[in-house]
Chain A
Amino acid sequence: MANPRTNFIARLDWLTIIIFLLMVVFGWMNIFSATQNEGAAGSIFDFSQRYSKQFYYILTAFVIAILTLSIDGKVWSFFSFPIYGLTLLILPITILIGKEINGARAWIFIGTFSLQPAEFVKFATALALAKVLSDYNFQIHKPKNLLTVGAIIGLPILLILLQKDTGTALVFLIFVLVLFREGLSWVVLFVAALAIILFVCTMLVPLPVLLPVISAIALMITWLYQRNLKFFGYGSLILGGLFGLAALASHFLGEEWSIDRMFFIASFIAFLIWLVIIIRKKHNPLLLILFTWIGAVFFIFSVDFVFHDILQPHQQSRINTILGLESDPLGVGYNLNQSKIAIGSGGFFGKGFLQGTQTRFNFVPEQSTDFIFCTVGEEWGFLGSLFVLALFAGLILRIIVLAERQRSTFSRVYGYGLASILIFHFAINIGMTIGLVPVIGIPLPFFSYGGSSLWAFTLMLFVFLRFDTDRYQIVS
């Protein structure tokens, strides 16, 4: 066998490349199946068909892969910030000259050829993040550094939100995993988890029930912690009394306050009273509970406000449908239902290549892009689905292994950035087709139809593979 220290080909991680090839080829087969009925049958080289376009996209992706492998990894590290700045600059231009598709202004057209610049911003952000985190002086819990990291992740989110491409913007939140790997405190993950739980509760439970329950839980924890009922009793009295006062005030001021508003006012005043009591009695550990409680109350109110007063009706119904609050088989739920039927009807072995009826008959929306997994589920069944899951899990785990064996922080952070983005796309895309998460329009990497996504992911992956081949070099 060739010596990895001297032979480039031998240093390449062929396992990753094989998974990549399997994904792209299997992806194309499914796109072919999903789109070959759209018009009269043509040849693969007829550029008007989606499957033939995708064929060329894949060939281009191979070229990108080879070119990328031949570029020295140091180039990416050196030009991280310029690349980041340049791609960000393209986003506002896209808003200005871009064309609107499905409500998002995220596409640039060059002739008949379309490009979605936001796909490449993921790559640029991963580079920039790696650059910042690999700085010798970087310490994750220094406020200044946290601020820089926040800006690097927040800026693209902001710009992509301006394009109204919410799905793509959400992807960037997953970089929190990279930060976690690089030492970000558990508290952040805890808060994030709490936020998700509270969000779901706010949607499912009416506020006049949820708020007292949350407060009761906070008081119970105080009770358990103190091991006596004093705080529990006083706490309930203060909150209940203030709520009564707010109700009286509402009555005498002649204003029709809602229960939510009375509770909000009562909570805020109770918070101030407790704050004073706790500080004077020096029960400082209780402060943590107090702040968590008031934070939760504020969070619930802001979620409620954003949901009812800011979100568009169609966005509301998407969330409602996924939480099972709204049954609407003709609207959003209809698409979701169709998607589940397509996958569900595949059974164990599937209906066979080109034999799927659900996807072929246009019952599934976006069947070649965001819902490509429907075709997999229907035509290749449970076995085929398992195969795809295995490919993704394998790819992501392999990237984590490769990332961990990097000597430079830059390469490791970049590797985790890549893995995180793949995790997010994998979780959301497949989750939505099988009805576990809301319908958020993001593609399944290497599978979905479309050049931008395929090229961006290919670029990202092969840049990392190139880093990996350089791992024996002395870290400067």
Chain B
Amino acid sequence: MQNPNSNRKYIIAGMVLTLTAIFIIRLFYIQIIDKSYQLSSNNNSRLRVVEYPGRGMMFDRYGKPLVYNEPVYDLLMLPQQVKAFDTLELCRILSIDIVEFRESVRKAREYSRYRQSAVVRQVSMEQFAMLSERLYKYPGFSFQIRSQRKYPQPIAPHLLGYVGEVNVEDLKKDPYYQSGDYIGKSGLEQEYEEYLRGRKGISFMLVDVHNRLQGKFENGRYDTIPEPGRKLTITIDAALQEYGEKLLAHKKGSIVAIEPSTGEILAMISSPAYDPNELVGRIRGQNFERLMNDSLNPLFNRATMSRYSPGSIFKVVQALVALQLGVIDEFYSVDCNKDIIGCHNHPNAHGLREGIQYSCNPYFYNVFRRIILQGKSTNQFKDSQIGLKIWDEMVFTFGLGQILPTDFPGIKPGLVPDGELYDKMHGANRWAFSTIYSNSIGQGEVETVPIQIANLAAIIANRGFYYVPHFIRSIEGIDTIPQKFKDPVHTAIDPKYFDIVADGMQRVVYDPGGTGWKAQVPGVIVCGKTGTVQNSGGKEDHSGFFAFAPKERPRIAIVAYVENSGAGGMYAATITSLMIEKYMNGTITQADKELSILEYQQF
């Protein structure tokens, strides 16, 4: 039977023959004509050698080194070349556990007999020197130089962050990394990883069958030179940072200081802290575990992650919003009527300045009521909804209730409650001013993190705008910092209202009946405000204080929190005073204040 398409068999057979012919020509080319594939006559192979660049150093705003590198050595093993050796002596020189060492040798053998594996990591300089002399007794072993972080002063662990070995996710995310590489895991080490890490160099060496080096493969055509990590200059004032850490030692708390005219973060302290040198090298693992399990939680960065009620500090925000909306003016006065909301004993507040000075709760209850209930609807539920929406929009412009777009990982947004939240909590049209009035004095649902409060101080210092707080001052080889740190962010409040609030904050520190006299600094006008954070845990309240100084052309905006140190902001105000003096004058004249802080120890 003749199939109609039978002739097509020739086409298919032709395809097979053509394909075979193409393969033959190609093979003839790469096996016989192109000599570049035929390496030198004695059966050479390539060995891939990785050179690790030094990680970028970090300097403070005055060029003082904060972190640099020191060389460490990884002991490599090529199983194929290893002969019987004195395991005991090797372990003694390197002071490592023999069982652990045998285990890593076994793993290296399992991985490949023809490839090097690191069997002992981060050998110190001295051990390296000692073993190098005897390395001839250990065929198959060699050293590879790497660098590890070293901190000249044990400061700023939370903000600098730490470096660790890449994990599975890191490997998946970025093909640059290979198992065993290091990567910034937190803080600025994580944020600026791509600048700090530099670029690994890779060279291909020719080796013979006995793995002896024969020179570079194809004259280094495929090699890349390691590129050192870039130097980073950050905005921190190392002296101020160190001093703040000293003040907060043995207390739970945090300090954030910002330069208002630029948004540069001068200091960021979280206590309890740890020595960053503890998280480096072979001791890292056990120290990390210890810090993780520490009940005081020293790895936790309070400055960016602790969510507190802002307390009385929030009253300045209420005052500004009310002024802008025109629901009060600077002469607005309220009798201190403690029926609805509690207060301490003080003369009645005449005008807003005294309202802030006395931190009168009924005063700000009424201010907030005027913001929320503007009479835009006759239904009080509707009216509250409208008022809260207007309030929300204004409060947001202070950078609250949102993650500040700064150059630091893991910042919490805090919370500015909105209608949606209350609808969820109570049901739509089932809440009104009477439900939410605690927010008037910074209690209730509103929450902030310390860095936001420092930024709030900067906003008042600047009379109405802020620069996004940031750490970067310059990156080696890059002309400029990101534009987002150079553009001012304006609040919805007219600058003219800020002077009234600043007056009130000055009275807090200087007038009789003010709550912040501890914040005074000789020769400088400080504007500040206390903020007691009620502690639901049944323990003592947290003490908070935020301030800026000097009043005109301010140079520093700052917040300090000391947890469980009681109402009134005594410790926080004192710390603020010392920090301002340290930054402005470089020296401390208030020895008694300093002593009172150093003597106060919580643990």
Contact = CB atoms under 8 A, between A and B. Distances in A.
Given A181-B5, A345-B37, A357-B43, A382 B16 contact: no
A466 to B, nearest CB: 21
A340 B38 CA distance: 10
Contact of B23 (A362, A423, A430): A430
Contact of A37 (B43, B113, B202): B113
B45 A363 contact: yes
B12 A345 contact: no
B27 A363 contact: no
A38 B80 CA distance: 11
A285 interface: no
Contact of A436 (B8, B22, B32, B175): B22
A343 B31 contact: yes
A181 B9 contact: yes
B370 interface: no
A85 to B, nearest CB: 29
Contact of A389 (B20, B43, B46, B209): B20
B37 A423 contact: no
Contacts of B22: 436
B32 A348 contact: yes
A253 interface: no
Interface residues of A, number: 52
A431 interface: yes
B147 to A, nearest CB: 22
A397 B16 contact: yes
B115 A347 contact: no
A345 B202 CA distance: 23
A39 interface: yes
Contacts of A138: none
Contacts of A360: 114
Interface in B7-55: 8-9, 11-13, 15-17, 19-20, 22-24, 26-28, 30-32, 34, 36-39, 43-46, 48
Contacts of A180: 8, 11-12
B31 A344 contact: yes
A115 to B, nearest CB: 25
B17 to A, nearest CB: 7
Interface in A396-447: 396-397, 400, 404, 407, 412, 416, 419, 423, 426-427, 430-431, 434, 436
B252 to A, nearest CB: 45
A235 interface: no
Given A183-B5, A404-B6, A392 B20 contact: yes
A407 B1 CA distance: 8
B4 interface: yes
Given A361-B45, A382-B27, A434-B23, A393 B9 contact: no
A367 interface: no
A351 B26 contact: no
A419 B5 CA distance: 17
A397 B37 CA distance: 32
12 contacts: A331-B175, A341-B37, A343-B27, A344-B37, A357-B45, A357-B209, A358-B45, A363-B46, A389-B24, A389-B27, A404-B6, A416-B12
Interface of B: 1, 3-6, 8-9, 11-13, 15-17, 19-20, 22-24, 26-28, 30-32, 34, 36-39, 43-46, 48, 112-115, 175, 202, 209, 222
Given A343-B37, A347-B32, A400-B9, 4 more contacts: A38-B113, A183-B5, A330-B48, A363-B46
